[in-house]
Amino acid sequence: MSAVPSPPPVLAWRDHDPAACGLPGMFLGEVDPSGDPGGAAERLWRLGARRVRLPGTVDLTGEAGPERAARTVAALSLVRDLTARAVLVDWELRLGRAVDAWRVLCHLQPPRRLDGHDGRTEPEGAERSDGTAGGGPAGEAGDPGEALRAWRRGHYLCKCLWRVGPGFVQIRDRRWGELRRFTADEPEYRTAIDRLAYGAPAGSVRPAVLDDFRGERLVLDIGVLSWWVPYRVDRWLQESMTI
């Protein structure tokens, strides 16, 4: 059973394009995707949502108590599951102290705003996903503006995914610049993925399996919860040999 509450109400539109979203009938209003967290993205998709805006900021800084950890995992799960459906997600992210923390999440739709643990923020005019140039210093270690520009430049669908085959699970991960494959046919790995998908206490997962996932950075620890990072695909969004 999921340890995560339902995602919060979101704003939704029927199209990716901001200009199209301004046309009559394109705004779906505030939508409450409550219910089983695993079905939230599906409910929004069936409603016609192709652009979704999350409220507030997903905060990965500091020590997260149980309630805050649950809210964070719920938001990240929705971003992940909407990304898997190619829904454009408007969201904001505040990073922790790890300089490369954004890379763990770079398979998700890039946020519209990225803050660093020291209060620095993506500069105005930062490069967008359409490739337009941005301002602010580039190349500074830990600079959220540079991190966000790199995230937007390098984002594409199916960058880090998992799938189920006959008697095995496989993760295909390109977050680090090359293809890394992780294949397991032991049933405890599939059981662990199902448990971690929407957050679970680390102690509820077999330690050896969790250590394997952590070693590949396929799990993100948020307070008392461990959360499964890759998204699942039911069909290839590109030719399977490309992915």
**Bridge partners for 70 per DSSP:** none
CA–CA separation, 69 vs 223, rounded Å? 5
How do strand 225-228 and strand 219-222 relate by DSSP bridges?
Answer: antiparallel
Side chain identity, residue 224: V
Per-residue pLDDT of the chain (243 residues; tens, 9 = 90+): 445 677 889 999 999 999 999 999 999 999 998 888 889 999 999 999 999 999 999 999 877 788 889 999 999 999 999 999 999 999 999 987 665 789 999 999 999 999 875 545 554 444 433 333 333 333 334 688 889 999 999 999 999 999 998 999 999 999 999 999 999 999 999 999 999 999 999 999 999 999 999 999 999 999 999 999 999 976 555 555 444
- Angle, vertex CA 90, rays to CA 85 and CA 95, nearest 5: 105
**Bridge partners for 125 per DSSP:** none
CA–CA separation, 41 vs 52, rounded Å? 10
Quote the tokens at residue 134. Answer: 């941005």
pLDDT per position as a tens digit, 223-235: 999 999 999 976 5
pTM to 2 decimal places: 0.86
Nearest partner of 45 among 4, 82, 99, judged by Cα = 82
Q: What is the reported pLDDT for 225? A: 93
pLDDT per position as a tens digit, 132-165: 333 333 333 468 888 999 999 999 999 999 999 8
